[in-house]
Structure 1
Amino acid sequence: MLLPRAQRRQVHAVYALCRLADDIVDAPQATTGAHAAGTGQALHAFADRFTAAVEVARRGGLVEDPVMAAIADTVRASGIERECFDRFFGAMAMDLTTTRYETFDDLVGYMEGSAAVIGEMMLPVLRPLRPEAREPARSLGFAFQLTNFLRDVGEDLDRGRVYVPQADLRRFDADPWLRRVTPQWRALLAFEIERNRELYARADPGIAMLPPASARCVATARVLYSRILDRIERCDYDVFSARVRVPRPEKAWVAAATVVNPRRVPRTEVAA
């Protein structure tokens, strides 16, 4: 809502592509037993539909599916690099076979295609003022997804996945499968949250490299998403009992403050 209408539609299109692909691999029992092969075929078919739509749009043809039409038009109009989508679909395919990551570097390898690349897709839509915005955009993608992983530990366990590095679990002697907060779990999550905040800090310089509307949009999202980490701390690192959320009134207040004072970019420091 903080972006001009044309850019807003392009954001919706990029989100739709990512959401639809993610829904394929996150469907109930999508990656279990005999279902995994069918899920892989569905993901491959979706990627083929996307590729075909982009090619039709490039040639000036009509893409009949309205969602694919919006996605293809966004890729063409904003100039998103096609190899971004190759990395993205590669990461989605990893979810069909990989349920654990030994080290943080291994996890980063997965997030390269599922998180950093989202920042790269979004950047042409946001129209950066300087090419140096690329690395901060990638860092923000990493930061957002790591926040998701820490918030969604319980949900991911239900899918048989653990995105917290196994080496970190051993280091703190923490076991997510207990599904309860222990001193070891608190120590582990405190460590991961600090790592997450470092990623947000790396992303922050990029906000000044965006035009005003884009900067307000990204800064607002950054502030609100990073507050999930504050909420995890406030609930004593309990990410098992219920999904940790930033309350709607708080979201509305931050967004409204930006609309009322359009020259103001929200503070990007993590709220106390």
Structure 2
Amino acid sequence: MAAYRYCEAVTGLQARNFSYGIRLLPEPKRLAMSALYALARRVDDIGDGDLPADRKAEALLRTRELLDGIRAGAVAEDDTDPIKVALADAARRFPIPLGGFDELIDGVEMDLKGAEYQTYEELKVYCRCVAGAIGRLSLGVYGCDDPERGAQYADTLGLALQLTNILRDLREDALNGRTYLPGEDLVRFGCQQGFAQPLPPAGADFTGLVAFEAARAQAAFEEGLRLLPMLDRRSRACTAAMAGIYHRLLGRIAADPESVLRGRVSLPGWEKAYVALSGLAGGRS
């Protein structure tokens, strides 16, 4: 189906860390996951784009209406929106909890309102919207031996990935006027000045801050990866590959905290491919 091919192209180009894992799935699940990530990318692009705030709000409302149409079964095969067509077909084939996309939109709306987080508990609400929800959506495609516990682990694994993203993008977000780390942590480690410079704030314990947040992410990885035994082999490989890439990224940040102030930390393509193959072989990286 052309709509799915479009979604696969979007995922391959714009969600590269996730595409390594998605490739390991059998075709029906691979196509469904591509549709999920294509819509998630659209929502993210609305939030990160250059439109005025009111136009972004309108675009997010249209996305909610798109989801309502899918839930109502009101999507024609000749609809001109390939992501809508592909996701509607995926939702017919798999028990995808589409409400997760509404949570993702809620998270993007937090960004549009300039939300800041004073405590870790507040930050977790945001992370569960923008990343935990994706984990729970994905579980609808994978299937799971214990859906209730699996959803909890998928949510926590999403939290781990988002915390890693926040550390990786610390300076980029600061240059865009955004700070995601809890305000109480910034005060504790003397980093209230922010991260708009390529060096840590004067007199701050920046290394201590990164170590503290990385430990939180590591704990979330350890809990979230309990999901793996609940999945079939290919779904387990997909999840292990995606989580493994971010886990390695977290390790790189923890080993050199100031690297996140010098530029975006990433893994080379060969290393991502290695992690993906390790996941297929049943390993964890």
Q: Identify the residue that residue 224 of structure 1 maps to in structure 2.
A: 245
Aligned-pair CA distance for 1:115: 1.5
Q: Deviations over 1:83-134 (max 9, x none)?
A: 3232222222111102421111111111222121111100011111222211
Q: Identify the residue that residue 161 of structure 1 maps to in structure 2.
A: 178
**Native 8 Å contact 2:159 2:220 kept in 1:** yes
Go from structure 1 to structure 2 and tell me whether the alpha carbon gap of 1:59 and 1:39 turns closer, same or farther (over 3 Å shift). Answer: closer
| RMSD, aligned CA | 1.8
Rounded to whole Å, the distance in 2 between the matches of 1:92 and 1:178 is 22
**Native 8 Å contact 1:223 1:266 kept in 2:** no
**Native 8 Å contact 2:139 2:154 kept in 1:** yes
* 2:95 counterpart of 1:79: yes
Secondary structure of the corresponding residue to residue 102 of structure 1: coil
Q: Identify the residue that residue 177 of structure 1 maps to in structure 2.
A: 195
Q: Identify the residue that residue 52 of structure 1 maps to in structure 2.
A: 69
Which stretches in structure 1 are left out of the alignment for 5+ residues? none
- Give the counterpart of 2:258 among 237, 245, 250: 237
Query: Which one-letter code corresponds to 1:265 in the other structure?
Result: G
Rounded to whole Å, the distance in 2 between the matches of 1:210 and 1:154 is 36
Q: Identify the residue that residue 198 of structure 1 maps to in structure 2.
A: 219
Secondary structure of the corresponding residue to residue 95 of structure 1: helix
Counterpart mapping for 1:78-227 below 5 A: 78-131=94-147, 132-174=149-191, 175-179=193-197, 180-181=199-200, 184-227=205-248
Q: How many residues align?
A: 257
Rounded to whole Å, the distance in 2 between the matches of 1:167 and 1:46 is 34
Which stretches in structure 2 are left out of the alignment for 5+ residues? 1-22
Q: What TM-score results when the alignment is normalised by the length of structure 1?
A: 0.88
Q: What TM-score results when the alignment is normalised by the length of structure 2?
A: 0.84
Aligned-pair CA distance for 1:50: 3.3
**Native 8 Å contact 2:240 2:276 kept in 1:** no
Rounded to whole Å, the distance in 2 between the matches of 1:220 and 1:160 is 32
Secondary structure of the corresponding residue to residue 163 of structure 2: helix
Rounded to whole Å, the distance in 1 between the matches of 2:111 and 2:93 is 30
**Native 8 Å contact 1:99 1:160 kept in 2:** no
Q: Identify the residue that residue 24 of structure 2 maps to in structure 1.
A: 2
Go from structure 1 to structure 2 and tell me whether the alpha carbon gap of 1:113 and 1:142 turns closer, same or farther (over 3 Å shift). Answer: same
Rounded to whole Å, the distance in 2 between the matches of 1:152 and 1:63 is 39
